């Protein structure tokens, strides 16, 4: 490992608030700490694209705020940040573009245009009608 690698790792851990846990194995960390560690790994690698699946699951409100602020900053700095997130309020606040999916693209665009009752009804109700439980 080079000095540049060590510097990148240290900087990434600082950005996600995990410097004090740098020597721990990822399996020893809580779920929220593991989420932050995975983001730190992407930062250390200077990834230009981050693909995140439910990055806010299992974390407390303070960590959610820190991570969402970090992701918004990364996007503002030119990174492509793509995330799957079921918390519509968080998505509306932090994303420039939203896509509603339910076996196909239901709607795509700015969150203020996509997160509307007709689109949300179509997205979340489509599969409910097909369930035998409702028959």
Q: Can you give the CATH number for the domain in which 69 is found? A: 3.40.50.300
Do 79 and 104 lie in one domain? The reply is: no
Q: How confident is the model at residue 22 (pLDDT cuts 50, 70, 90)?
A: confident
Strand pairing partners for 43? none
Q: Do 58 and 24 belong together in one domain?
A: yes
| Same domain membership, residue 85 and residue 72 | yes
- pLDDT computed for residue 73 by the predictor: 92
Please write the tens of the pLDDT for every residue from 30-46. Answer: 888 888 898 899 899 98
Of the pLDDT bands very low, low, confident and very high (cuts 50, 70, 90), residue 117 is confident
Sign of CA dihedral 84, 88, 92, 98: positive
Instruction: Collect all residues with Cβ–Cβ distance below 8 Å to 39 and sequence separation of at least 6.
Output: 16, 50, 52, 55, 67, 70, 71
Distance CA 37, CA 29 (A): 9
| Total domain count, the chain | 2
Report yes or no: 68 and 84 within 8 Å, Cβ to Cβ: no
Q: 50 and 82 in contact (C-beta within 8 Å)?
A: yes
My answer on whether 132 and 81 are in the same domain is no
Predicted TM-score (pTM) of the model is 0.77
- pLDDT, tens digit (0-9, with 9 covering 90-100), for 70-87: 999 999 999 999 999 888
Residue 57 and residue 20 share a domain = yes
The range of the structural domain enclosing residue 119 comes to 97-135
């Amino acid at each position: 490992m080079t000095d540049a690698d060590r510097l990148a790792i240290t900087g990434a851990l600082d950005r996600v608030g995990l410097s004090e846990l740098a020597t721990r194995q990822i399996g020893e960390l809580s779920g929220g700490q593991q989420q932050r560690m995975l983001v730190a790994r992407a930062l250390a690698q200077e990834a230009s694209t981050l693909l995140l699946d439910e990055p806010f699951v299992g974390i407390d409100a303070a960590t959610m705020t820190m991570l969402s602020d970090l992701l918004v900053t990364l996007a503002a700095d030119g990174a492509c940040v793509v995330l799957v997130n079921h918390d519509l309020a968080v998505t509306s606040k932090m994303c420039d573009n939203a896509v509603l999916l339910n076996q196909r693209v239901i709607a795509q665009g700015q969150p203020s245009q996509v997160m509307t009752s007709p689109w949300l009804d179509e997205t979340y109700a489509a599969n409910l009608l097909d369930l035998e439980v409702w028959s």
